[in-house]
Structure 1
């Protein structure tokens, strides 16, 4: 709750209270000043409860998480606040202010209904004002965050280019080695490594690749890992064919597999299992959680890199879940436009 919203609520409530008292001052010449003051306080508190109640509802994190529709949340907020204000101002406050009595224009039997409708209309106005403020504030913050992400992405690309050994050099060297060796296993390994670097060359300047192309990279990368770890690691991929034309930032799956192998124990006694599958609107990459000792305090720079690319390039967020024996990353499915 920001200071400017508190000040605005106080000002609006004071104006509403003064306007509400004008008919009484004009219509009842013999009305005592103490009654005018009490009625002003009455209207001021009525307005204040509605204003700060709307603020509380709009900025309530639990409510925002459980109710995604602003219309549904607004209806609930206004009705609840109107009932609460009705009880406060028509039943509790009169007992606190003995001189606060009902007027002849609104007999007691009619006043609760009138006040409830008044609170509904007032609450609707306040809710709209605060929601407009919040939307404008979020839009401004999103623009600032987008600029920050763009700047961070640019800096990351510059650093990456500075530290990168030329893939062209490695790719050409691997092709040369493949022609020199006679052993088929060595040739196959070099060819798969060449495919990995071919992919890096092809997509290093691009922001998107199809899932099918990414899976071809994963197959080559996994061949190389299997040559090293043999039966200590296993990979299960269960993705429908119709999903393979969706988009993904290049090297995302490869990086997640690399992180899983790098930070977890993979041995014959404790094999490391990795799965890639689809669940609702996400591609799930999960692995058994059996961390190495030196990985307990890892900063997770690879995951931060993936998260940054999804936010910067696609305006989407990934989900990272860690359970007792599983580590899971949920990648939003990005369909072609």
Structure 2
């Protein structure tokens, strides 16, 4: 990715170099009728300088060139080449009074060396100016980015501390409610709800969890849903014991089950069926498609959350298969 091009420093430096050439040439000039040669020499120098600035800026910002030494070497060679391209058509220009342009009568190799030397002088100076300006800019951007990250980290920590208060209070209240509940179904429901919150609180900072723990959490969450929908929600879990030691990002199963309920009709007349199974080292969550007639627009946050976590943690992609009959999400099992 190329950095934003800034031409103004290059124009200023190029004008400065051209003025130096103009003044030094004018001092040597003792005949007024040769003033056009002085101006032409300064103009050519300006053209070389601005061309070298553009070339240096491109090379410094090129991500395909690795290493500072490679960039420096390539920049100097490129500037020498730029000078040759500009000066070679003017190699016979009559400028006896100006040694840097006195190329008439010189052997071909000497002419090329003189041209390249001029490009190296101008381009080298501009390269190190460009390099210094880039260091200053990168340093400023780095300080700004560090301050932004510190602020975001502070805000995130404060937000996390605030969010912990209510869940812990609710979890403690559920534990008390389970103790004082009179009938078994209520105790069971409260216990499963407490399990859900226990898992949420215990794994909010974890990047990966075992499939066994995730499945226990999913069973508690599914129990709560089935108490609500009863026979309208059918969930089949077909996971072999050998797969339970694998790991996945936490809350993935809960998000996929929640999405299935959110985007489909759940009724006794048209039950929603969810199947959780293993296929080709992938954890699969499949549901039949019973689209709601009226449903809030999907933001895709749940699936995007899972996608991004897999990319960050394992650089692997999840698979999504959507047909008119079924919707399947396949999650890679991590070691």
Q: TM-score range by the shorter chain?
A: 0.5 to 0.7
Relative to structure 1, the CA distance from residue 329 to residue 182 in structure 2 (aligned partners, 3 Å threshold; closer, same or farther) is closer
Relative to structure 1, the CA distance from residue 136 to residue 29 in structure 2 (aligned partners, 3 Å threshold; closer, same or farther) is farther
- Partner in structure 1 of residue 259 of structure 2: 263
* Structure 1: segments with no counterpart, 5+ residues: 245-251, 278-283, 310-315, 331-337
Instruction: Write the mapping of 1:125-274 to structure 2, written as runs, cut at 5 A.
Output: 125-150=128-153, 152-153=155-156, 156-157=159-160, 160=163, 164=167, 166-174=170-178, 181=184, 194-202=194-202, 208-209=205-206, 211-212=208-209, 217-225=213-221, 227=223, 228=226, 231=235, 253-264=249-260, 271=275
- On the 8 A contact 2:81/2:119 being kept in 1, the answer is no
Distance apart, 1:168 and its partner CA: 2.0
Equivalent residue pairs, number: 293
- On the 8 A contact 1:171/1:197 being kept in 2, the answer is no
TM-score, normalised relative to structure 1: 0.58
Relative to structure 1, the CA distance from residue 158 to residue 269 in structure 2 (aligned partners, 3 Å threshold; closer, same or farther) is closer
- Partner in structure 2 of residue 281 of structure 1: none
Distance apart, 1:139 and its partner CA: 0.7
Quote the RMSD (CA, aligned, Å).
Answer: 5.5
Distance apart, 1:10 and its partner CA: 1.7
- Partner in structure 2 of residue 19 of structure 1: 20
Distance 1:170 1:7 in 2: 67
Relative to structure 1, the CA distance from residue 54 to residue 328 in structure 2 (aligned partners, 3 Å threshold; closer, same or farther) is farther
- On the 8 A contact 1:168/1:201 being kept in 2, the answer is no
Residue deviations 1:13-57, cap 9 Å, x none?
222223344543444544822222222222222221222333344
- What secondary structure does 2:257 align onto? helix
Distance 1:75 1:254 in 2: 48
| 1:102 equivalenced with 2:101 (yes/no) | yes
* Structure 2: segments with no counterpart, 5+ residues: 227-232, 265-270, 322-327
- On the 8 A contact 2:286/2:329 being kept in 1, the answer is yes
TM-score, normalised relative to structure 2: 0.58
Structure index of larger Rg: 2
